[in-house]
Structure 1
Amino acid sequence: MSTSRAVRHPRFKLLALLAVFVLPLLVAWIMVAWRIGIPEQRTAHGELEPDIPALAQWPLAEPRTMLPEDGGWVLAFDCAGACEALADQWWRLHRALGREAHRVRRLRIGGAAQALPGEVVARWSTPPDWHRPGHLWVLDPRGEAVLGYSAGVEARDVLDDVNKLLRMNPEPSVTPGRQVAQQ
């Protein structure tokens, strides 16, 4: 009786070991083949806006000093009404970015209020046809519009998207004084 128990025990271990490695592969194959358990929802809260031109082509009356030289991201918002509340909301969002805040600049278009810290204020020379009051755009380091948000968007949704963008696009590491030898 002890020999049958000794024979079954190693077989059970082998079957358990095979199940640990084969079962996840089988489950993954079933999920892909029959589209079971695969999420179909989108992860961004904003809308893709490929028709918005680059920031350098926006019809702004002020000089183009708002595009960061270091290639940072830009939160540009059209401040038509309730400008002070909008500017404060996006300032608070900028502060909520924490140690990643230095990678993002804010561009407020319109409004008569004084610029908040870290904010550049500009005005439309002629409002473009794609202009929408209260709209917010997230621009990549090249000045291209990545996401757009309609007026009344929740700040936490924008913060979630900006955090994802910053995480997916890490800051390039620069080592001062180190040069690569060219041949």
Structure 2
Amino acid sequence: MTLKSKTTAETQGSDHTIRNNRIKLLGLFAIVFVPMAVATSMYFGSWGIPTGSTNNGELIWPPINISQLQATDAQGQPLEQHFSLDEPGARPLKWDLLSPEADKDESESKWVLLVTGEQDCNKACQQALYTVRQVNIALGKEAKRVTRVLVSDQKSNALPGDIAEQHPRLAIATTEKSALQQFATGGASNREGITNSEMNADSWNIWVVDPLGNVILRYEANRHGKDILKDMKRLLKLSNIG
């Protein structure tokens, strides 16, 4: 081999090595930066993001606050005071003030299975009360982290007399009919796929409220308890409040 051909071969080998090194370097950059770029593009461009959800109830997003219900407890105190509001001057009350049958030692706000509706506690109302009671029981050792509240525009003495007997530890609060309608409308406006004509379609509803007073899920009154139970188990597992 002549000196010239040897030099040419060495140059070609060097160029090949450089190309390989460049390809490897580009590959490393691609591994690190391409997923980052794709994720950024998906986030800001709102494309390719899964639309499915794992919850069975209708998600209220952004959440509405329980204060919008403008309800008062048996002692005439605002219902929202039963939640641990992290605000100056907040005065969270014990849940035993909401229900005389509750444990007097309880001092923390809980997750709430809330039943709301207008006028008489009809068949839909009683079905909803039965469902949330069974869900509460089925939570087992986590049941103590949850309480049940009925809010309607009827005074407690106007409700069917057997409600207290059939639903021990059920707390009862009252509000005005207009507040109930506004509350349901506010919840509907934050639910995906709900049209104006559907906002007041259900007089009685079941809601999930977190210990801070955020209303986060909604179910129709006749929803099967298994769906609500699955959501509650997931929420209690993921949450360290209440």
- With normalisation by structure 2, the TM-score equals 0.48
Q: CA deviation at 1:20?
A: 0.5
Question: Unaligned stretches of 5+ in structure 2?
Answer: 1-8, 80-96, 152-158, 182-202
Determine helix, strand or coil for the equivalent of 2:114: strand
Question: Unaligned stretches of 5+ in structure 1?
Answer: 173-183
- Residues 149 and 172, structure 2, Cα contact 8 Å, conserved in 1: no
**Which structure has the bigger radius of gyration?**
2
Tell me the number of residue pairs that the alignment of Structure 1 and Structure 2 aligns. Answer: 165
Determine helix, strand or coil for the equivalent of 1:152: coil
Q: Percent identity?
A: 26
1:2-49 C-alpha deviation (Å, 9 max, x unpaired): 946655544333222111101112212322443322457887615455
Give the alignment of 1:62-101 within 5 angstroms. 64-65=98-99, 69-78=107-116, 80-82=121-123, 85-97=127-139, 99-101=141-143
Aligned pair in 2 of structure 1 residues 107, 115: CA closer, same or farther (>3 Å)?
farther
- Residues 112 and 209, structure 2, Cα contact 8 Å, conserved in 1: yes
What is the distance in 2 between the residues matched to 1:12 and 1:98?
59
Give the alignment of 1:32-181 within 5 angstroms. 32-38=43-49, 45-47=58-60, 48-50=63-65, 51-53=68-70, 56-57=77-78, 64-65=98-99, 69-78=107-116, 80-82=121-123, 85-97=127-139, 99-108=141-150, 110-111=159-160, 112-113=162-163, 114-116=165-167, 119-122=168-171, 128-129=176-177, 130-131=179-180, 134-141=204-211, 144=213, 146-147=215-216, 148-159=218-229, 161-163=231-233, 165-166=235-236, 169-171=239-241
The amino acid of 1:171's aligned partner reads I
Determine helix, strand or coil for the equivalent of 1:87: helix
What is the distance in 2 between the residues matched to 1:100 and 1:9?
60
- With normalisation by structure 1, the TM-score equals 0.60
- Residues 139 and 146, structure 1, Cα contact 8 Å, conserved in 2: yes
1:105-162 C-alpha deviation (Å, 9 max, x unpaired): 123565525345xx423556x66314485322333335x3614544334545544554
Aligned pair in 2 of structure 1 residues 35, 115: CA closer, same or farther (>3 Å)?
same
